[in-house]
Structure 1
Amino acid sequence: MQQNLLRKISVLILSAAMLIVSGGCVQEVPAEKSVEKSVSRSVDNSFTLMIYMCAAALESEYGCATVDINEILYGYSDSNFNIIIQTGGTLEWQNTVIAGDRCQRYQVTEDGLELVDDTIGQQNMAEPDTLSDFVNYCTDNYTASRYGLILWDHGGGVIGGYGYDENFGGSAMSLTQMHQALETAETHFEFIGFDACLMATLETCLMASHHADYMIASEETEPGCGWYYTNWIESFSAEFHICKRIRKTDNRRLC
């Protein structure tokens, strides 16, 4: 009898807690915004993934960014899924494709990397304007119903911020500057991912919550090459798959 009573009380407490949490979530996401997003998805099932690759010494000394781009190429297939990469932030690329003396923008295709913008010159990848300009370029030229953003480089959490541009004295972007950049871009993301160390902090979550539904990040330090891209890019490609998938061959790798 007493055990049943305690069990009922526990259920009531748990139910009340869930209502409180649910209420908080509803308040943070306006109803009209949710309706608008669901309508757009039913009309257009497209996705543009923006990868902001400030390669730093991870590339110039170890070739980690080149490794990750190759992983992306192996996972990608023909689909309604755009992957746009901005390169920069490093003194030297460990491949013969990407330029080391300027920032560039590439689209991932079935045939490899396609250079789509070689006009932006050498930019500081740790500056908010550089990030917002990249986001605006992607939304203007690769319009989709859904967007994702990955920030690739070193991370230092609340104190160190994101990014380390070798061409500009190792400067980094603070969370405040990142918020400024994303506010300027006025794009809502399905997710913001940090392929960088130490970015899964409460403060980073609060910043990202203004711009995305989800955040993907690590509390700990990451390996030099960070995420393994092939498997999940392959899964994303399958979701938006239109034609029969053609598996990549070695001649589509960066070399």
Structure 2
Amino acid sequence: MNHLLRVFAVCILTLASSFASAAPQQIKEWNMLVFLNGNNNLDSFGPMNINQMEQIGSSNDINILVQWASERRTDVTRHLVVKDSNTNQVTSPVVQNLGAVDMGDWKELVKFVEWANQNYPAKRYFIVVWNHGGGWHLLNVPGVIRPMDISYDDNTGNRITTEQLGQAMAESARIIGHKVDVYSSDACLMGMIEVASEMADSVQYYLGSQDVEPGAGWPYANFLGKWTENPSMTPAEVLKLHAAEYLAAYNGGVYGHRRVTMSAYDLSQIDNYEKALKQLSSELQTLNDGEIFKVARSAKNAKLFTNWDYRDVLDFVDLVSRNGITTPAMQTVRDAQSNFVITNSQNQDNRTYGVSIWLPTGSNSSDYSGYIERYHGLKFNQRTGWADLVTKLQGK
């Protein structure tokens, strides 16, 4: 009899548990998903940034979810960030332990989005990849770790390429049933048209830095504190807030004084921007040899961002104009970029307009030969033919 009672009790508890797990989750306004890959020499900044998140914590309107890898341990864990006052230790509960995971595999990013959608549903999604970044190709700086693209995992040697990042966002949009509201990189050199173009069909807004980011990265507590106070902000408003807080942090704020950049793009405007750049590429290719030489010189002198072949779009256009060459597309590009770039927070100079582009010329011709084949396959080039202009400028 006692045995039967125990069996009955177990059945009741199991049934109750099933009903509890099937209970509908509260659908929040936002999910902020941070794919934090600390399997590299940035590892020490991971817990620092999570502790900043914990100063604010998830709210009734915003879930802060982190998939965290660290060189200090084998297991990759997922956390719902909970507010606490301990700034020296991550205390947010582990809601899932994944064991060993390759954080350089784009499919793991998709799995993170799918898990969040199933367990912490929200109306809007802000997806962040935290790691080293190299723009659309290899970061070529002597003495510096050389990641390709983004999310380099030292344990596996793998990384997420620009093309795979586009795939990941396409899959994420399918999972959540609409475009990803915001994609961003807490990483270096990702404010590039080539990267944004890969995900233009599946992401609404894009946030990234043209230049390198200091190791401390984003000022999470400052940004999240103001966002959680006003969770009804539109995605564009959220990004303007973020960029302003990022700049303030390095402009005498919590991170002191460093030269930084942060810009946000409205990807609904990318078609007009790409058409303008296609027109510019076509017009410049029709110039005579003397004029092409001036265009190449403008490309060599345009504002660069760490890599010799990463140049500011509008600074390049302005230099071409100052070298005495004017075409109709130049103003078209300026107008299109003013609609495309919704915020450009930077403390560098008046030559930093918010969008970088691939422009290898002259002394950095090895960057051309090493990357031109891959560049032909990028969506940006397929829509603009930019590689044809780049090719014409070689040797000038």
Specify if TM > 0.5. Answer: yes
- Partner AA of 1:199 in structure 2: M
Task: Specify whether residues 49 and 77 from structure 1 end up closer, same or farther in structure 2 by C-alpha distance, changes over 3 A only.
Answer: closer
Please state if 1:190 is matched with 2:181. Answer: yes
Distance 2:136 2:153 in 1: 18
**Percent identical:** 25
- Give distance in 2, aligned partners of 1:75 and 1:166: 31
Output the CA distance in 1 between the equivalents of 2:42 and 2:134: 18
CA shift at 1:140, angstroms?
0.9
Q: Deviations over 1:47-80 (max 9, x none)?
A: 11110001133444xx111111111111336322
Q: CA deviation at 1:166?
A: 1.9
Contact between 2:58 and 2:81, CA under 8 Å: does it hold in 1? Answer: no
RMSD of aligned Cα (Å): 1.8
How is 1:1-255 mapped onto 2 (pairs within 5 angstroms)? Answer: 46-60=29-43, 63-76=44-57, 78-88=59-69, 90-92=70-72, 100-111=73-84, 112-118=91-97, 120-159=98-137, 160-169=148-157, 171-185=158-172, 186=174, 187=176, 188-240=179-231
Going from structure 1 to structure 2, the CA distance change for 1:168 and 1:127 (only over 3 Å counts) comes to same
Deviation at 1:135, TM superposition (A): 0.6
What amino acid does structure 1 have at the position aligned with 2:60?
Answer: S
Q: Take 2:58 and 2:162, find their aligned partners in 1: how far apart are those partners?
A: 34
Any idea what SS the aligned residue of 1:223 has?
coil
Q: CA separation in 1, counterparts of 2:40 and 2:218? A: 17
Structure 1 residue 240, shift from structure 2 partner = 3.7
Structure 2 residue matching 1:236: 3-state secondary structure: helix
Residues in 2 aligned to 1:231 and 1:124: alpha-carbon distance in whole angstroms: 31
- Per-residue deviation at 1:45? 5.9
Cα distance in 1, alignment partners of residues 28 and 78 from structure 2 = 24
One-letter amino acid of the structure 2 residue matched with residue 127 of structure 1: D
The TM-score, its normalising length taken from structure 2, stands at 0.45
In 1: Cα distance, 2:131 partner to 2:189 partner? 11
Name which of structure 1's ranges 219-228 and 201-210 shifts more when overlaid on structure 2.
201-210
Rounded Cα–Cα distance in structure 2 between residues aligned with 1:208 and 1:67 = 30
Report the 3-state secondary structure (helix = DSSP H, G, I; strand = E; otherwise coil) of the residue aligned with 1:157.
Answer: strand
Distance in 1, matches of 2:180 and 2:226, equals 19
Conserved in 1, the CA contact under 8 Å of 2:170 and 2:199?
Answer: no
Unaligned runs of 5+ in 2: 1-26, 85-90, 138-147, 233-396
CA distance in 1, matches of 2:110, 2:226: 28
Report the alpha carbon displacement of residue 104 of structure 1 after superposing the two structures with TM.
0.8
* Structure 1: distance between partners of 2:199 and 2:167: 11
| Structure 1 residues 65-106: Cα deviation after superposition (integer angstroms, max 9, x where no partner) | 111111111133632210110011x422xxxxxxx1111100
Give me the whole-angstrom Cα distance separating, in 2, the residues matched to 1:72 and 1:65: 11
Residues of 1 paired with 2:28 and 2:35: CA distance?
23
Residues paired across the two proteins, number: 186
* Amino acid aligned to 2:154: E
2:150, 2:161 within 8 Å by CA — same for their partners in 1? yes
Match of 2:111, SS state, is helix
**CA offset at residue 158 of structure 1?**
0.8
* Unpaired runs of at least 5, structure 1: 1-43, 93-99, 242-255
Partners of 2:58 and 2:218 lie apart in 1 by 19
Paired amino acid for 1:225? A
Decide which structure has the larger Cα Rg and report it.
2
- Which amino acid is the alignment partner of residue 91 of structure 1? E
In 2, are the aligned partners of 1:48 and 1:84 still within 8 Å (CA)? yes
- The answer to whether the 8 A contact 2:28-2:63 is kept is no
Structure number with greater CO (CA < 8 Å, separation at least 6) is 1
How has the CA–CA distance of structure 1 residues 45 and 85 changed in structure 2, closer, same or farther, with 3 Å as cutoff? closer
Equivalent residue of 2:81, what SS? strand
